[in-house]
DNA sequence: TGCCCTTTGAAGGGA
DNA sequence: TCCCTTCAAAGGGCA
């Protein structure tokens, strides 16, 4: 697996970190991915027929690309396959994106997608192909009439994740090309990304047809007014949509929204303020509820008033309550780990026999730590954009608004909770999930890349965690429950002190997490007790980490460790 | 039916 | 500034 070129400075992992159980499987996976990709592409072909036909008069670049093939769908197919080949080649060449988890990353570097738009504002054909591939239901310009977008999008609207990611051959991050391929640097959005979509044929601004919106973020409440989430790539698996415009949303006039360049590319032309009527029921015009908006009946507590906007407070109690009942539940933006989890869960599930999310999440947590800084930085950046977008969409929304929306969760370290209660609560926590992950533990568990080396400038730059570190550092996984040494080491991205442990294995949870779940479950298995298949042979670095880890463990009893003793 | 579990990170409030 | 709490996703387990 290729490492970052020239990054030798903090190359913690040495070569051994590249050795993982998954490497072999990776080969197979690539093969299967290709097979699967082709299979998927077969399906894709048919959806590309019309597009190709409709663009017979496309640009010269397309003409140049186009092979003299009689079937335009095959052309698209070939081009798409070229992308895979190119992606694979780049991956093998040791591109920036090195993780075997992300075969799709190289797509971010597809040259043609660097500027997927033609001079007239239309998507380049390959970009269209790509977009079609990534958003099969996305009616990109030129593909109009391909399908009736107003028809429900069945596959994407399920809230359940398919056990096997069908689109594993394309990394979900690839749609981030939307942001740019400049490693998420908020660049200047293409000029065509104006609130209005230019008709590629006429050049006349027009209201985007719903079919041009990402199918993963179909318009929900307010139908046309619904904003498709630009991070829809995260959703495809679940078919969820992140955000929506709640009734009463956009408390600020939309034009007043300060859209920076990054946001512009995020929101793109689909976030036209002209298409933001309020829909009281949080339903897409198709009648499909927006996943980001949980029906009050589902999530909202009957007596909850804390989700009321100021405007609602000013209304009459009855009316306010009425609207409150209608008011959708605006979910929190996903953080980096959540984004990662969402993406990788299906993969882990597919790799493992595990089904329990708790166990899966443990694996994901460890894999998260095994990610390189760059990889994590991508997710941090994504999360940052998520938050940014969320804040733009819901200017008045506060995370506090959702407090109490869920049922009261375990509050085992409440002062009033009795020890009996606590012990009862922790009975289930004695279940040890991790051993069962030995089959599918992170190949990168030996990666060690997240260890406490200072962030590289690029990573730090890319990290949105930097501004938020004030809050997040306390929750850094590296921080020990006991925090015996104080906050001595630094967040790998922010460079800020973030904990005492010098290894990346979470020992319990910090903060409130540990307060209710810092039992043995949260405790990592000592390296020495891990199955061989769970960890690669320790590099010198990891041996040092082992030593440190053991030292830490020696200072902590291995028995049930809770923070309830506080 | 609905909470619990598990993970990390973000946000907000209180001290 | 630090600490704590809550929530975000997910889905099997369990009462």
Q: What are the residues facing A293 on neighbouring strands?
A: A330
The separation, in Å, between residue A316 CA and nucleotide B15 C1' comes to: 36
- pTM reported for the whole predicted model: 0.45
The separation, in Å, between residue A185 CA and nucleotide B7 C1' comes to: 28
Amino acid A379: pLDDT = 92
Identify the residue whose Cα has the smallest distance to the C1' of C5.
A512
Q: What are the residues facing A499 on neighbouring strands?
A: A489
Distances in whole angstroms, Cα of residue A33 to Cα of each of A25, A98, A101: 11, 17, 12
Task: Pick A3 or A400 by higher pLDDT.
Answer: A400
The separation, in Å, between residue A7 CA and nucleotide B12 C1' comes to: 38
How would residue A323 be classed by pLDDT, with cut points 50, 70 and 90?
low
Q: Nearest CA to A336 among A465, A152, A525?
A: A465
Q: How far apart are CA A118 and CA A352, in angstroms?
A: 44
Mean pLDDT of A256-274: 36
Amino acid A400: pLDDT = 84
List, for residues A413-450, the tens digit of each pLDDT value: 333 334 333 333 333 334 455 544 444 544 333 333 33
Report the Cα A25 to chain-centroid distance in Å: 24
Radius of gyration of chain A (CA): 24
> The tokens 């929750």 sit on which residue?
A475
The separation, in Å, between residue A59 CA and nucleotide B5 C1' comes to: 55
Q: How far apart are CA A286 and CA A221, in angstroms?
A: 10
Is residue A297's pLDDT more than 60? no
Is residue A85's pLDDT more than 70? no
List, for residues A327-339, the tens digit of each pLDDT value: 678 888 999 999 9
Task: Please provide the average confidence, as pLDDT, over all residues in chain A.
Answer: 44
Q: How far apart are CA A409 and CA A406, in angstroms?
A: 8
Task: Kindly report the number of other CB atoms within 10 A of residue A147's CB atom.
Answer: 17
Quick check: A223 and A276 in contact, CB under 8 A?
Answer: no
HEC profile for A482-547? CCCCCCCEECCCCCCEEECCCCCCCCCCCHHHHHHHCCCCCCCCCHHHCCHHHCCCCCHHHHHHHH
Please give the sequence-ordered ranges of beta strands (E in DSSP) within A214-363, or none if there are none: 293-294, 329-330
* DSSP per residue, A132-158: HHHSTT---TT-TTSS-TTS--GGGS-
List, for residues A178-212, the tens digit of each pLDDT value: 333 333 333 333 333 333 333 333 343 333 333 33
Q: Nearest CA to A442 among A361, A355, A364, A359?
A: A364
The separation, in Å, between residue A304 CA and nucleotide B2 C1' comes to: 18
Identify the residue whose Cα has the smallest distance to the C1' of C12.
A356
How would residue A326 be classed by pLDDT, with cut points 50, 70 and 90?
low
Could you check: is the Cβ of residue A299 within 7 Å of any atom of nucleic acid strand B?
no
Find which nucleotide's C1' atom is closest to A339's CA. Answer: C9
Is residue A363's pLDDT more than 50? yes
Bases along strand B below 7 A from a protein CB: 2-13
List, for residues A22-47, the tens digit of each pLDDT value: 333 333 333 343 433 334 333 333 33
Amino acid A331: pLDDT = 87
List, for residues A522-559, the tens digit of each pLDDT value: 333 333 333 333 333 333 333 333 333 333 333 333 33
Q: How far apart are CA A84 and CA A109, in angstroms?
A: 12
Amino acid A352: pLDDT = 82
Q: Return the sign of the alpha-carbon dihedral for residues A201, A207, A213, A218.
A: negative
Could you tell me if residue A260 is left (phi over 0), alpha (psi between -120 and 50 degrees) or otherwise beta?
beta
The residues, ordered by sequence, that sit 6+ positions from A51 with a Cβ below 8 Å of its Cβ are: A76, A128, A129, A132, A140, A142, A143, A146
Q: How far apart are CA A173 and CA A234, in angstroms?
A: 7
Find which nucleotide's C1' atom is closest to A298's CA. Answer: B2
Token representation of residue A346: 């299906």
The separation, in Å, between residue A361 CA and nucleotide B5 C1' comes to: 10
Mean pLDDT of A149-171: 34
Could you check: is the Cβ of residue A336 within 7 Å of any atom of nucleic acid strand B?
yes
Give the helix/strand (H/E) hosting A206.
Answer: strand A205-206
Window A16-35, strand B contacts by Cβ < 7 Å? none
């Amino acid at each position: 697996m290729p490492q970052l070129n020239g990054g030798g400075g903090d190359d913690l992992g040495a070569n051994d970190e590249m050795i993982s159980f998954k490497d072999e499987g990776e080969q197979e996976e690539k093969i299967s991915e290709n097979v699967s990709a082709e299979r998927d592409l077969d399906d894709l072909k048919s959806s590309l027929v019309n597009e190709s036909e409709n663009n017979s008069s496309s640009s010269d670049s397309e003409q140049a690309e186009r092979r003299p093939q009689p079937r335009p769908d095959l052309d698209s197919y070939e081009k798409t396959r070229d992308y895979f080949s190119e992606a694979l080649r780049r991956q093998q060449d040791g591109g920036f994106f090195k993780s075997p988890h992300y075969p799709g990353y190289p797509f971010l570097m597809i040259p043609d997608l660097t500027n997927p738009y033609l001079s007239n504002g239309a998507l380049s054909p390959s970009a269209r192909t790509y977009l079609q591939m990534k958003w099969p239901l996305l009616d990109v310009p030129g593909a109009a009439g391909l399908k009736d977008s107003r028809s429900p999008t069945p596959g994407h609207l399920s809230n359940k994740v398919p056990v096997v990611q069908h689109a594993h051959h394309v990394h979900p991050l690839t749609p981030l090309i939307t942001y740019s391929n400049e490693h998420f640097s908020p660049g200047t959005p293409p000029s065509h990304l104006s609130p209005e979509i230019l008709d590629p044929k006429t050049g006349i601004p027009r209201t985007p047809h719903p079919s041009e919106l990402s199918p993963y973020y179909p318009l929900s409440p307010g139908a046309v007014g619904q904003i498709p989430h630009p991070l829809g790539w995260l959703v495809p698996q679940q078919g969820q949509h992140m955000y929506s415009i709640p009734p009463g949303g956009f408390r600020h006039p939309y034009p007043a929204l300060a859209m920076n360049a990054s946001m512009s590319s995020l929101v793109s032309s689909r976030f036209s303020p002209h298409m933001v009527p309020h829909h009281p029921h949080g339903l897409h015009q198709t009648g499909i509820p927006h996943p980001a908006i949980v029906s009050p009946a589902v999530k909202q507590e009957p007596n909850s008033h804390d989700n009321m906007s100021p405007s609602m407070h000013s209304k009459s109690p009855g009316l306010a309550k009425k609207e409150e009942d209608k008011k959708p539940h605006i979910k929190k933006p996903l953080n980096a780990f959540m984004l990662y989890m969402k993406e990788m869960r299906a993969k882990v599930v597919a790799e493992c026999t595990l089904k329990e999310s708790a166990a899966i999440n443990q694996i994901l947590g460890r894999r998260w730590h095994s990610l390189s800084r760059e990889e994590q930085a991508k997710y941090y950046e994504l999360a940052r954009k998520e938050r940014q977008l969320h804040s733009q969409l819901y200017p008045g929304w506060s995370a506090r608004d959702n407090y109490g929306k869920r049922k009261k969760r375990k509050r085992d370290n409440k002062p009033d909770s009795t020890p009996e209660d606590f012990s009862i609560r922790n009975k289930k926590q004695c279940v040890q999930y991790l051993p069962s992950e030995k089959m599918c533990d992170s190949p990168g568990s030996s990666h060690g890349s997240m260890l406490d080396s200072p962030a590289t400038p690029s990573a730090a730059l890319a990290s949105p965690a930097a501004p938020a570190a004030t809050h997040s550092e306390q929750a850094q996984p590296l921080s020990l429950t006991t925090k015996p040494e104080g906050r001595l080491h630094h967040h790998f991205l922010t460079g800020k002190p973030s904990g005492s442990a010098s290894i990346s294995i979470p020992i319990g949870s910090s903060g409130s997490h540990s307060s209710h779940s810092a039992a043995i479950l949260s405790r990592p298995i000592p390296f020495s007790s891990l199955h061989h298949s769970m960890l690669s042979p320790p590099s010198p670095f990891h041996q040092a980490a082992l030593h440190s880890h053991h030292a830490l463990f020696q200072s902590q009893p291995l028995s049930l460790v809770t923070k309830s003793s506080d």
